[in-house]
Structure 1
């Protein structure tokens, strides 16, 4: 498996990771941080798995499809959590998470 066939997924993983990191940082600055705790937690989980899957693809891991399945699940959960909040950074993150989840499902 060459990573060239995963270019679309790699791009979506990177965009999702950046959106989650931005949302995580912005949520920490919200007035009611406690209300944002679950969003912050899922942002971290999602950014981490997206970054990990991107690395796994680049090193031709034999477990890409398995990691993609886990990544899809986490991206979906993060998108669902972010969608609950009206902040623009949360809405942008949810969109990126859902797009990434769909791309991961195609590989899983």
Structure 2
């Protein structure tokens, strides 16, 4: 189910990218590179392609929400848990404040 939603979501994203690139902007845009065929493909004038873009955008948003709601993986995040403050431990050995010593114990 989740795989199918992800595939449809990727298709909707690619379709939205293509439709936005074909639209004619103030300066002509990429739509003129294809001979202005983008506007006529989706209907007469710009209202058809604008409505189509809005529908694809709404579908993409709905798919994103559906994917989020159907995801059953557990989060590794600690945000939202009760006690997230780090605990401070006392130094071992009863010696205060010194850096831990490593090695053979011979000073040098």
TM-score (norm 1): 0.36
TM-score (norm 2): 0.36
Higher helix share: 1
If you compute each CA radius of gyration, which structure gives the higher value, 1 or 2? Answer: 2
